[in-house]
Amino acid sequence: MINKGCFSVKLSILDQSPVSIGTTSQAALEATVELAALADGLGYTRYWTAEHHDMDSLASPAPDIMLGMIGQRTQRIRIGSGAVLLPNYRPYNVVERYNMLATLFPGRVDLGLGRAPGGSAEVSMALVDNFLKRVGEMPDALDELVHFIKADFPKENLYSRITASPVPETPPVPWLLGTSGKSAMLAAEKGLPYVFGDFMSKENGPEIVRNYRKHFFENNPKQKPNAIVTVYAICANTTEAAEEIALSSHLWKIKHAKMNEDKRVPTIDEAKKYKYSEKDLKSIERLKNKQLIGNPKEVKAQLEEIQTMYEVDEIMVVTITHSYEDRKRSYQLLAEEFGLTGN
């Protein structure tokens, strides 16, 4: 076990490129690039961008395009996908793109992989012929992808004759992302590092990560498992300010579960005036149980508790606020409280 108070933690960022009411998708994407540059200077370890499709409230369906922009604006931070939704693509094309990024930004590229659709059933149909079939083929697709990264297909394999060029000196590092025991076991079986999405899972995360490590050692005794946990957090100068800022993200989640609602991130004022049902209020209470909201000392203490529970040395943070300045300030305060050192 990790002894609380006797360890350090690396902090990273997962950015979903949220679109707020009163702004545009262009502004959201520009904010993602700007925030990545800030995180680079603050001393965050990684900056990952997500993949979502046909969503007015989340602006990035193509992490690799965003990472090309982010790589140009950063110097040392690792950049990556959180995640490429692999059933939507052929492994060869994915590795080509991330090999290209790793060639442009040497030693800094992660290739986070997931199996979620990232959108509606109609979106899945538009992206790929048979999404459910591709989900079932995910273990084989992972094998194929890793072979393309390592360029080590057996000679008798047809793909041994081709290369996912350009071939970087330091290849992208594949990670598997998930929110369940099934994804953790797949990562353990394949010998891949694993990211558990605590902020969007109802499962027993610490137990899942413990089982990941146990089965990783059983399947890959010569390798070392590596796990990150992703949490939702909002940090402000005071507890009261953080709780007020969080109102808009709570309403945002409520609206996503309803039809005919504007799915962009609402203002704090709208959140204060919204007519919540009893069901809405109960949902918000459940949301709060999965969120870290408070002043810097409070959020740091909660993150340290998460770290101890999961026995990890790195935590990835998701922050959704209506105001970009509030989101930026939240990450700045965390960096200061943890004593991160950047450029």
d(CA 189, CA 187): 5
| The pLDDT value given to residue 341 | 85
Task: Give residue-wise pLDDT tens across range 109-130.
Answer: 999 999 999 999 999 999 999 9
Q: What percent of the chain has pLDDT over 70?
A: 98
Task: Give residue-wise pLDDT tens across range 228-250.
Answer: 999 999 999 999 999 999 999 99
Query: How many Cα neighbours within 13 Å face the side chain of 214?
Result: 7
* Residue 15 C-alpha from the chain's centroid: 7
d(CA 255, CA 265): 9
Residues for the chain: how many in total? 343
d(CA 24, CA 324): 12
10 Å Cβ neighbour count for 314? 18
Average pLDDT for the chain: 96
**What residues does 85 pair with on adjacent strands?**
114
- SS3 (DSSP) at 145: helix
Task: Give residue-wise pLDDT tens across range 148-179.
Answer: 999 999 999 999 999 999 999 999 999 999 99
| The pLDDT value given to residue 1 | 36
Whole-prediction pTM? 0.95
| The pLDDT value given to residue 343 | 65
Whether 189 shows a pLDDT value over 70: the answer reads yes
Query: What is the rounded average pLDDT of the residues 253-273?
Result: 95
Contact 231, 312 (CB under 8 A): no
Whether 2 shows a pLDDT value over 60: the answer reads no
Contact 6, 311 (CB under 8 A): no
Whether 317 shows a pLDDT value over 80: the answer reads yes
The residue type found at 295 is: N
d(CA 256, CA 55): 10
d(CA 42, CA 334): 10
d(CA 191, CA 212): 10
d(CA 266, CA 255): 9
Predicted confidence band of residue 315 (pLDDT cuts 50, 70, 90): very high
CATH node for 10-238+293-338: 3.20.20.30
| The pLDDT value given to residue 7 | 56
Task: Give residue-wise pLDDT tens across range 31-88.
Answer: 999 999 999 999 999 999 999 999 999 999 999 999 999 999 999 999 999 999 999 9
d(CA 209, CA 197): 11
d(CA 258, CA 271): 15
Query: What is the rounded average pLDDT of the residues 214-228?
Result: 96
Predicted confidence band of residue 8 (pLDDT cuts 50, 70, 90): confident
Q: What is the token pair recorded at 326? A: 């509030």
